[in-house]
Amino acid sequence: MKFEQERRQVVRYLRRMLAAGLTTGSGGNISLRIPGTAYFCMSPTGIGYDVMRAKDIVVMEDEGHTLAGKRSPSSEWRMHAAVYAARPEIGAVVHTHSAYATTFACLREEIPPVHYLIGFAGKKVPVAPYATYGSEELAALAAAALGSEYNAVLLATHGLLAVGTDIERAFTVAEEVELVARICWQARAIGTPVALPDDEMARVIEKFKNYGTAAAEISGSER
Ligand SMILES: [Zn+2]
């Protein structure tokens, strides 16, 4: 099978997304860029994560042509393609409808730096204007809101888009944004959370650049 390792990895992270409570059913989608090529692995539409196999993952390029896989790619593939076109350093894209981040997306309100962990996404998580799911318009709006300085963006009245240099990093961004969204919601329920100033967030973001390496050194894990 072509690109078996990469396709297996996408299935593994889709299951992790479900197990981590970042999605329900077959919601959300994940893609992984194949380094040195114009192709990326894209999760398919209409199949549950529990029965999904590596062969179900579609290998495609940004015009929509498929190289491998018989299934149809997720209808949101254009959004993934737009990120890869705009950000050459990005290796993976995770899109979820995780409940707390999506709550902010429905308010069309950015997630402020009420906890330093937002630094995985940037100094805050901005909101991209609303457009119909799967549309080229949404793909363009999401990529524009992400710009070059953010690793996550809320999609108005829809969900969250998280990106990273590799799939573990993109997944971590999605997880941490969901956690901070929940903390912000909880803090506002009983008081007024205090946002970190710009210069402190700049320090945190700088420290996070080495996060993966440091964690691997400490734990010996692949992270
Ligand atoms: Zn979606």
Give the mean pLDDT of 137-162.
98
User: Which residues have C-beta within 8 Å of that of residue 219, sequence separation ≥ 6?
Assistant: none
6, 76, 168, 176: which one is catalytic? 76
C-alpha 102/C-alpha 94 separation (Å) is 14
Q: Is the pLDDT of residue 121 over 70?
A: yes
**What would the pLDDT profile of 155-174 be if each residue is shown by its tens digit?**
999 999 999 999 999 999 99
Structure tokens of 145?
């809101």
Q: What is the mean pLDDT of the chain?
A: 93
Any idea what the CATH number is for the domain that residue 84 is in? Answer: 3.40.225.10
Q: Give catalytic status of residue 76 as yes or no.
A: yes
**pLDDT at res. 213:** 55
Q: Is 219 exposed, middle or buried (0-12, 13-18, 19+ CB in 10 A)?
A: exposed
C-alpha 93/C-alpha 79 separation (Å) is 9
Number of domain units in the chain:
1
CA of 132 from ligand 1 middle (Å) equals 10
Query: How many of the other CB atoms lie within 10 Å of CB of 109?
Result: 14
Q: Which residues span the domain enclosing 193?
A: 4-219
CA of 147 from ligand 1 middle (Å) equals 19
Which pTM was predicted? 0.93
